Copies of this chain bind each other. A is one copy, B any other.
């Protein structure tokens, strides 16, 4: 791709890595292009909770001066960090006035690993308060500023879609990575629970909290999967759509899918069949129908523990929903919580058994396109997978009737993350060659 320097922000991370290697431009030149893009777009998109251009330029210059043999696999790649993940050189405010002046001198495990790999820790992306509430931050959907970018990783999703950065980190306890990925028309990955360390990020639910990643291509997801050492592909055989076997999982929530999502699900099934895949509609056993309730009971009771600290500091500054968690006003008891946790745990090996019969399962990422306003949307199609600990990749490529992006989820058994990525790459190609939705940004 031949781009003027001012347009370098359009490149994916994979493209930037190749061009930095061949000496086409400097890291500093590249980040200046991103900063110009942000300067132009940030007043509309509001993706950032914090970024400091001079600190970014400093990091870029230091990397430009790093000898080639000392450069890491993400040399010069800027990454946005959701503002519930600690960064030793920036504030972490959780979108809460309680943490207005909070600057933990501490890198989360993910941030530390990214720095060692040569990434530029670009800034903090806007989040719904504590990555826990349904009201988003000020961030707007770059495809239509009247709409939500989804959440809680709102800024990460919008910043990547709007080409402020090629990559970003998010977190998911319900649907906080997959939903904004779908609404913003980008790739998002929630790996297997426990596969990436959550050390150094705010805890909401210890049994569900998962680090997630955003990118504009499946190859870019791969970069982060490798740096974070995701596993789960014992074969080296390249994956092919032809001869593969996909499950279509409409789930018990299917009646909540809007027409746009229904059409996207039909489209992918048709395309996969056209290219030689078997596609079967699969119904989950009745035990799986309560997953959404059990997930809710668990996060409610976990929230009572996780936000008790903030409640003791300044109850009046805590979002009302979190106050209700702490005051246990939802009426869920410890015994409800234990049943919920134990029931979910029982279903994990069972979903693995079901999913192992397929190349991957395809299921909605969101009810439909991003809604108007500041509510981040429903996690109804996400929370069951978060509860079940399986890897999920949102792939974009579908359009709603009014031209907004719609994504779908690829799901596979726990610890098959790398294999699922291979599937995502082929699905990406399939949609590109069939003229799927493309960003107008």
Contact = CB atoms under 8 A, between A and B. Distances in A.
A293 interface: no
A278 interface: no
Nearest to A205: B194
A309 to B, nearest CB: 4
Interface string A92-106: 000000000011111
B202 A202 contact: no
A300 to B, nearest CB: 13
Contacts of A206: 194, 198, 206-207
B112 A334 contact: no
A308 interface: yes
Contact of A105 (B105, B302, B305): B105
Contacts of A195: 305
A317 interface: no
Given A302-B194, A342-B349, A345-B345, A313 B199 contact: no
B105 A197 contact: no
Interface in A111-128: 112-113, 116-117
Number of chain A interface residues as a range: 35 or more
Contacts of A113: 308-309, 312
A113 B338 CA distance: 25
Interface in A408-423: 414-415
Which one of A103, A195, A203, A313 has the highest number of Cβ atoms from chain B below 10 Å of its Cβ? A203
Interface in A330-358: 334-335, 337-338, 342, 345-346, 348-349, 352
A26 to B, nearest CB: 25
A196 B338 CA distance: 15
Given A103-B105, A112-B312, A312-B113, A305 B196 contact: yes
A335 to B, nearest CB: 7
A232 interface: yes
A313 B116 contact: yes
Contacts of A306: 109, 197, 199
A229 interface: yes
A231 interface: yes
Given A194-B206, A202-B199, A112 B313 contact: yes
Interface in A176-199: 194-199
Most buried by B among A302, A308, A309, A337: A309
Contact of A345 (B232, B342, B414): B342
Number of copies: 2
Contact of A338 (B302, B312, B337, B352): B352
A294 to B, nearest CB: 13
Given A104-B105, A206-B206, A334-B232, A197 B309 contact: yes
A199 B352 contact: no
Contacts of A104: 86, 104-106
Given A104-B104, A232-B334, A345-B342, A112 B414 contact: no
Given A198-B206, A342-B349, A229 B334 contact: no
Contact of A197 (B198, B203, B231, B415): B203
A336 B76 CA distance: 37
Contacts of A312: 112-113, 116-117
Contacts of A352: 338
Interface in A342-394: 342, 345-346, 348-349, 352
Contacts of A345: 342, 345-346, 348
Most chain B beta-carbon contacts within 10 A, residue among A105, A302, A334, A335: A334
Q: Which 6 A-B pairs have the closest CB atoms?
A: A345-B345, A334-B415, A104-B106, A109-B309, A199-B203, A116-B312
19 contacts: A104-B106, A105-B105, A105-B106, A109-B203, A109-B306, A113-B309, A113-B312, A194-B206, A194-B207, A194-B302, A194-B305, A197-B203, A334-B414, A335-B415, A338-B349, A338-B414, A342-B348, A345-B346, A345-B348
